[in-house]
Amino acid sequence: MLRAKIHNAVVTQSDLEYEGSLTMDAALMEAGEMFPYEQIQVYNKTNGQRFSTYLIKGERDSGIIGVNGAAAHKAKPGDRLIIAAYSSMSDEECSFYRPLKVMIGPDNKIKEIL
C-alpha cells in the first residue's frame, strides 16, 4: 500500500559520481513520515522515468532534492518528481488506511499536507 508521497518535488541537483540514493530536505522527510535509508519509488513527471532507491537526509529547510549515482541519468535539475514510500499492511488496515500526501510548492516548500 502507498504509505506516503511527496508530490511535485523539483530536483535541485544530481551527482552521477555519488554512490547512490536520493537526498531530501529533512523537513520534507519528516512531513512525509519518511526515514533515512528507507526504500522509495521515484516517478519523474518531466520525462516519465521511474526508479527505486533509498533516502538520505539533507539539510533542513534547504529544499534539496538531490538525485545521486546511476539515478542521475533518470532525473536532472528542474525535473518534477513524485517520491513514494510503500508499506505492507493487513487486510484490516487496508480497509481504512489513507496515505499521507505532501504537496510541494515553489522552492520545494510544503504547500499542503493531506
Residue 21 annotated as catalytic: yes
SS3 state of residue 107? helix
- 14, 18, 21, 43: which one is catalytic? 21
Max CA-CA distance within the chain? Answer: 44
The verdict on whether 18 is a catalytic residue reads no
Q: Which of 54, 62, 86, 88 is catalytic?
A: 54
Residues annotated as catalytic are 21, 54
